[in-house]
Chains A and B, each alone.
Chain A
Amino acid sequence: MLGDSAERLAVGNPAHGSQLARAMLDAVEDAVFLCDPRDGSVLDANRAGCRLLNGGSERPGKPSISDWSARSEGYNAARAHESLLRAAGGQVERLSWRVQRTDGSRFWAELRLVSAEGTGDVPRVIAILRDTTELETSEERQRAIADATFEGIAIVHEGRILDANEQLGALYGASRATLIGHSMIELVAPESRELVEARIEQRLDGAYEHLARRLDGSVFPVEVRARSVLLGGRTLRITAIRDMTDHKRVELERERLIHELTGRNAEMEQFTYTVSHDLKSPLVTINGFLGALERDLCDGDGERVQSDLNRIRSASAKMSALLDNLLELSRVGRIGGAFQAVPLNVVAREAEELVAGFLGKGKVQLTIPHDLPVVRGDHGRLVQVLQNLFENAAKYMGSQPQPQIELGARVEGEDCVCFVRDNGIGIEPRYAERIFGLFEKLDPRSAGTGLGLALVRRIIEFHGGRIWVESDGRTGSTFLFRLPRVAGATPPPPEGTTQP
């Protein structure tokens, strides 16, 4: 222990410092030593220094820097000697030092060496040793925080990564160690480089998005927030990077849903509008002809009375059919069977039975092949689709002497494209979309409510499919629809054959 007794080290005599100065020195938490730069020996030490050297009790004979330097890490006797000499020459030396206590425990310290002027002709160096354990702990804490974030964090200097957290490695498909020293711009996809370079150059701090590139070359969207900071005389760019792949996917899904809902809404509005208009139409007819009937009865015009009654009757039947069809339309997607593997030839035969009378009346020949694929869907609804398409085809045969309808299907990847082809009057291409609308009838005098094809479209769309028509407007039309196929399933054999 430093003091005023004979135990004090050589230079510690009162001639070089007052009692007060000694007390002040002892009060300092840093260890302070007076060293001989020639051999590194410790000539004097304050209270903290003694504690460090001998655990506070025993005092070493003539300790040197080597005695409290932990030789294992970073210690280099030659380096220590050079520093001491430089300090003795008037230069302030600052270095990190690994220190070993007398009990063998070690800690990191910051060592400052300054020349002790006014201590006589012999050069002396004052060594001030500050325990930086806490600082190191705080750095470790900061690294732990950095590693616990969701974002990848990089500290970049002059375009190279100086330091990074673990997440940055995970983000770019490499270890943290691999990324240190790596060029930052190479982690940006080429199409985003101009944007990123401009932001770095302008030192813009706000968050922005760009495309990043992993070390394997794959590209993914990121959100980046970067700040340029001046640290230790260097401009560093601290960048936090977040993978936006999931976010983008969710965003796309959200947009798709909004689009779908907007579509549904518009469809619903159109539906309400159309329904209110088209349901009112038969009412105008019924009430109008009731008035006409009164007048015709007064006039005694028997022929007109009969015609008025017929019109009233058919308008009321039309209203009833409209309501039935609307109800049917609203049920698609709500009421029906579960989706299952549905052999198209079975569906086609059922539909054929339902329209047999109608086809027979028009002498229409319907061809259904045996080798139709198996699709996934609601059996009953798919029968409705074919029934409506067969009826529709038969209805618009015009003056065709040999009316024919042909059902067919082809496999396209995961889907099956079915068609119902006829040799009737055809549909002008400009009306190809309109015919699937609610209450759309190209011929106002044709039978039906104008809901048949709207119903077909709704059923197909409910199955995740699409329906369209191809026709040159002269030689028949082909209605095509796409449905998901059940791969590998074989259709049941046609009736009359036995199962092997």
Chain B
Amino acid sequence: MISLRSDCVLYVEDDPDHAELVLRTLERSGKKSGVVHVEDGAAALEYLGRSERSEVPRPCLILLDLRLPKIDGIEVLRKVKTSPDLANIPVVVLTTSASSQDVSRAYACNANSYLVKPDDFASLDSLVQELGQYWLDLNRIALAEQPLR
């Protein structure tokens, strides 16, 4: 069984400004160190491939934008959720699109959550804080599961 325990979050975001906003918020809550930021879908899949070969830390959470250069976010999601090795990594979609078509496509591909980027700073801040908490909880669950293995 693959360990869920990890300090790593894979953050896939092509907009450098949006990435800066999210990273700054994570930094403020002291969680930035484990974040690996990539800018397109191809780079995300490449990182995940390397993590499968244990060359880089395996992420315990993937924060995924949908409209991405090279390989679309939905395609990345589909690849992750259909890979036996990666499917149990929670994927949170974080996008500007509130289109119902995107929401249903993402959930149809087994996204764990779908979040629309808020266009005000306070909401974005609290959303990222909540994500940070989610991340901590994931680690706690993984730690609790460890003695069983």
Contact = CB atoms under 8 A, between A and B. Distances in A.
Interface of A: 273-274, 276-278, 280-281, 283-285, 287-292, 294, 311, 315, 431, 434, 439-445
Contacts of B39: 444-445
Interface of B: 14-18, 20-21, 24, 39-40, 67, 69-70, 95-97, 99, 101, 117-122, 124-125
Contacts of B15: 281, 285, 444
Contact of B99 (A277, A285, A442): A277
Given A273-B101, A444-B15, A444-B69, A289 B96 contact: no
B70 A292 contact: no
Q: Which of A277, A283, A431 has the most CB of B within 10 A?
A: A277
B13 to A, nearest CB: 9
Contacts of B117: 284
Q: Which of B18, B39, B67, B118 has the most CB of A within 10 A?
A: B67
A270 to B, nearest CB: 10
B69 A442 contact: yes
A443 B122 CA distance: 30
A445 B122 CA distance: 26
Contacts of A285: 15, 17-18, 21
A444 B44 CA distance: 14
Nearest to A286: B119
A290 B123 CA distance: 13
B125 A291 contact: yes
A292 B121 contact: yes
Contacts of B96: 277, 280-281, 284
A132 B125 CA distance: 104
Contacts of A311: 17, 20
B18 A288 contact: yes
Contacts of A441: 14, 69
A294 B24 CA distance: 14
Nearest to B121: A291
Q: Which of A274, A292, A442 has the most CB of B within 10 A?
A: A292
Given A278-B67, A283-B119, A440-B69, 11 more contacts: A276-B97, A285-B15, A285-B17, A288-B18, A288-B21, A288-B119, A311-B20, A315-B17, A441-B14, A442-B40, A444-B69
B18 A281 contact: yes
A141 to B, nearest CB: 65
Contact of A291 (B17, B70, B95, B124): B124
Contacts of A277: 67, 95-97, 99
A398 to B, nearest CB: 16
Contacts of B16: 444-445
Nearest to A272: B99
Given A280-B96, A280-B119, A284-B96, A443 B69 contact: yes
A289 B21 contact: yes
Nearest to B122: A291
A443 B42 CA distance: 11
A284 B99 contact: no
B137 to A, nearest CB: 25
A211 B40 CA distance: 55
10 contacts: A276-B97, A277-B95, A281-B15, A287-B121, A288-B121, A315-B17, A431-B70, A444-B15, A444-B39, A445-B39
B120 A291 contact: yes
Nearest to A295: B121
